[in-house]
Chains A and B, each alone.
Chain A
Amino acid sequence: MLSRIAESLFWLGRYVERADDTARVLDAVMHRLLDDPGTDEEAACRTLFAVLGVPVPDSDEGGCDAQTVLSALGFDAGNPSSVAGAWQAAHDNARGVREVISTESWECLNATRLALPAQRRQARRVGPHAYLRYVRERAALFSGLADSTMSRDDGWLFLTLGQSLERVDMTARLLSVKVLASPYAPDWATLLRAAGADEPYRRTEGWDSDPQSAARFLVLEPLFPRSIMHALATAERCLAELAGTLAAGSSSRRSGRSQTQVLVPSARRTIGRMRTVLEYLDADTLVAQLPQVLKDLQEACLLASRQIADRYFQYGTPVVWLRGRDS
């Protein structure tokens, strides 16, 4: 697989997941703001920007309210951290790898991108929920089409790897909203619903569970696909498979990479170590340690992403001519 294509697929997976998860976060936060007029809207919105790592946009009034959040994090197609921007970025990556993703998946991405402006106009009239729901549904459609129409080759592994890493990062940030800014944050039930986890949680934990078990569920539940533990395990499996197939495929090449480096790529170690830390964590005290754990998770994602790029996405930058020194 071409390195350039591998990188685009990795980011395609990340961006679709980011659009999906950002829509989920926004939906939960907006729900809370509308639900409780007593919330300090300004502070709640600024916190959200901080958690998602996006600078608060400058506005004439200098304020920051639900509208600011929706414009910048929902509708701004130029910002890859917003719902519309992440989708646009997913589309742009897919465009460069048209020949490796199925036509159905591509049409889903492209048709959605074209439909977003109309959806946004509608959202200005009837509120953001339908818009955010639309994006979530289309992300699910994309995942379903990719799942049923793509061969499980290296391309699939890079797509899934990107999706899993982004899911770890975004679920951590969803929890950060609650952990770092509890007074403005949605209640646990809304957060669980945002992650699509409310019903599986009830089935696992029952009705008389304490609120903190919700955090445990979103972080540690190995059977729930949107939990951090599950996403980490998926990412780790992808990396292991990639290391296997690519090491086998490259046995004939001449480059002098040492055997151990090929067998244990460092991204795999980063992800594996993080998963192990979570597995041996004292579940009862998880909530107390949660802020640190969430920060570690986000940093591990960042590091792993860099390591993956170093290991697999090494290809030539566009050729440019250098003028010789003696000419």
Chain B
Amino acid sequence: METLVLYVLDMADVFDAYTFSQAWDEMFEAPGMPRRAYERVFQALEHLDPDDLRFRAELVARAFTDRGVTFALGGEERPFPLDLVPRVIAAAEWDVIDRGVRQRVRALEAFLADVYGPQTIIAEGIVPRSVLLTGGGFHRAAHGIDPANGVRVHVAGIDLVRDVDGRFRVLEDNARVPSGVSYVIENRGIMAHAFPGLFAEHRIRPVDDYPARLLAALRAAAPPGVRDPVVVVLTPGVGNSAYFEHALLARQMGVELVEGRDLSCSGNRVRMRTTAGEQPVHVVYRRIDDEYLDPLHFRPESVIGCPGILNAARAGAVTIANAVGCGAADDKLIYTYVPDFIRFYLNEEPVLENVRTYRLDDAERLAWVLDSLDELVLKPVDGAGGKGIVIGPQADEKTLAKLRSTVAAGPRGWIAQVPVALSTSPTFVGDRFAPRHIDLRPFAVNSGDDIWVLPGGLTRVALPEGALVVNSSQGGGSKDTWVLADARRPVARTEDDAEQQAPPPSVVREAVADRQAGPGLAESAYQLQQ
């Protein structure tokens, strides 16, 4: 009898020690009560024992290692950890994100078209000229370049977090070279191998048409008059930490993956060096930062770029995606103005709000922020990947003192935010599930006619307990992100798919020939009978 009880306890205990904090939990409404979207995931997981879960976790890690989806940490190759518990987003919730992200990208595009053109927003006094000009991402060299189809931000990644009330808020915008979409694609494939049963029970919107959408958007951005544009992906090379992603996108789009040394530029034409001589290039999806892209305009010592490419873009002979100078829109100080952009350019109210953020542009507020550092989050405006962020409530006195003097010396370089208790999600740690903070980066692809948001996006997990910075370079992992299909609509990749009706089996049978079998099987069946 006793053994039986123990056994039952053992079965249930993967969720037993799950603790709740003030933060919004993605899976549970209350202890033991999963939210509707998670019901089936919860049922499936609670019946698995720790050994089974560990086995699947190893399976997942192994799949990543074999594919070479790794990043180097201390000289060792490690897979980017994928957690076993998917993040599930119900159709109605996704609808808000989808509308909010598209709205945001439209506003950023409008802002960029404005600042690299007439600059009405400065004339109207909505953004001070000094804020724009002192931003590290604003490049005079990009002024007056008119993109072929009006698109500058071909790919955007808008980072979202969920506050204690369960509302999604924008944490930051990435309009330069947002990365991580390869994990979205890989995570889905690998989860399908580790939990085949779960997929059968859900109607999950697919993510694998991202490369096709991206290619279509890049081709749509080709210089005018080019009928069959040649698209390439420009990578810094195999040493880059996102090289895997560059190769995956090039492979799945079916285009060349080039390095700077494969390109040449003369007479404002960009060409690539091939075994059959030099071939023209029309659209460069570059995964190189502005500063390294063109040594003629930016860092002269860069050897990974293509000298002359910016002039070629200005002459309209090549399209650079994303356009040079998009950094003007995703500076963290500019971020505080984006809700105003939405009202000014689109005449709409923001669907997704910002996290409460303070600019340090007036002396009184600066003084207040410097006094309240232990209650605020301070972010450098040009930091990427969680670099330089100080979370006041978690920082020690020494860090705060140093921060105080740095911020006082250069307030333009910082913004202050009220800490958000990022939502938590059950994450497999050791041999049970524990709450860990997560965020979400949806990816938007702008083809000029339409902004498409990949249904899903990258959910990043801060693996250390209580940590609020979610980044692979700081002990982060990821989760497969499932956007559930609206029950009323079929899960269709394209409209063609939805319209096609499968013929009945009798018709299929008519449409195929008889199958043949050679000698062999009959004989062994005969032997078996004996």
Chain A residues engaging chain B, CB cutoff 8 angstroms: 1-6, 92, 95-96, 98-100, 103, 106-107, 110-111, 114, 154, 242, 245-246, 249-250, 253, 255, 312, 314-321
Contact = CB atoms under 8 A, between A and B. Distances in A.
A253 B276 contact: yes
Given A2-B262, A6-B275, A315-B261, A98 B66 contact: no
Interface in B241-255: 243-244, 247-248, 250-251, 255
Given A4-B262, A319-B260, A319-B303, A99 B276 contact: no
A96 B250 CA distance: 12
B496 interface: no
B273 A250 contact: no
Contacts of B66: 107, 110-111, 114
B331 interface: no
A110 B68 contact: yes
B67 A99 contact: no
A319 B273 contact: no
Given A6-B275, A154-B275, A316-B264, 4 more contacts: A98-B244, A100-B251, A110-B66, A250-B277
B268 interface: no
Interface string B267-290: 000001111111000000000000
Residue among B67, B256, B275 with most chain A CB within 10 A? B275
Contact of B261 (A4, A95, A103): A4
Nearest to A257: B277
A320 B275 contact: no
A317 B67 contact: no
A315 B68 contact: no
A248 to B, nearest CB: 9
A316 B303 CA distance: 11
Contacts of B68: 95, 106-107, 110
A318 B303 contact: yes
Contacts of B243: 95, 98
B258 A2 contact: yes
A318 B67 CA distance: 28
A2 B272 contact: yes
A88 to B, nearest CB: 13
A253 B280 CA distance: 11
- Contact-size category for B: 20 to 34
Contact of B67 (A107, A242, A253): A107
B250 to A, nearest CB: 4
A246 B274 CA distance: 10
A1 B274 contact: yes
Given A99-B257, A315-B261, A249 B251 contact: no
A250 B276 contact: yes
28 contacts: A2-B275, A4-B262, A95-B243, A98-B243, A98-B244, A98-B251, A99-B248, A99-B250, A99-B251, A103-B67, A106-B68, A107-B67, A107-B68, A110-B66, A114-B65, A114-B66, A242-B275, A249-B276, A250-B277, A253-B277, A315-B261, A316-B261, A318-B261, A318-B303, A319-B295, A321-B295, A321-B300, A321-B301
Nearest to A7: B275
Contacts of B26: none
B307 interface: yes
A78 to B, nearest CB: 15
A315 B276 contact: no
Contacts of A312: 275
Contacts of A110: 66-68
B141 interface: no
Interface of B: 65-68, 233, 237-238, 243-244, 247-248, 250-251, 255-262, 264, 272-278, 295, 300-301, 303, 307
Contacts of A6: 275
A117 to B, nearest CB: 12
A253 B243 CA distance: 32
A246 B303 contact: no
B247 A99 contact: yes
A2 B277 contact: no
Given A103-B67, A321-B301, A96 B238 contact: yes
A287 B276 CA distance: 42
Nearest to B237: A96
B261 A317 contact: yes
A218 B442 CA distance: 60
Contact of A3 (B248, B255, B274): B274
Contacts of B276: 1, 245-246, 249-250, 253
A99 B256 contact: yes
Given A95-B238, A114-B66, A319-B307, A4 B278 contact: no
Contacts of A250: 276-277
A206 to B, nearest CB: 30
Contacts of A96: 237-238
A2 B274 contact: yes
A99 to B, nearest CB: 4
Nearest to A246: B276
Contacts of B274: 1-3
A2 B230 CA distance: 13
B273 A2 contact: yes
A4 B251 CA distance: 16
A250 B271 CA distance: 14
A3 B275 contact: yes
B211 to A, nearest CB: 11
A10 B3 CA distance: 63
Nearest to A252: B277
A103 B260 CA distance: 24
A103 B248 CA distance: 9
A322 to B, nearest CB: 12
B277 A98 contact: no
A239 to B, nearest CB: 12
B189 to A, nearest CB: 10
A107 B67 CA distance: 5
A286 to B, nearest CB: 37
Given A98-B257, A111-B66, A253 B278 contact: yes
A115 to B, nearest CB: 9
Given A95-B238, A107-B66, A111-B66, A319 B261 contact: yes
Contacts of A99: 233, 247-248, 250-251, 255-257
Contacts of B248: 98-99
Contacts of B244: 98
A255 B273 CA distance: 13
A107 B64 CA distance: 10
Given A318-B303, A320-B303, A1 B238 contact: no
B273 A315 contact: yes
Contacts of A314: 273
A130 B388 CA distance: 51
Contacts of B272: 2
A95 B247 CA distance: 9
A253 B275 CA distance: 12
Nearest to A101: B251
Contacts of B233: 99
B455 to A, nearest CB: 23
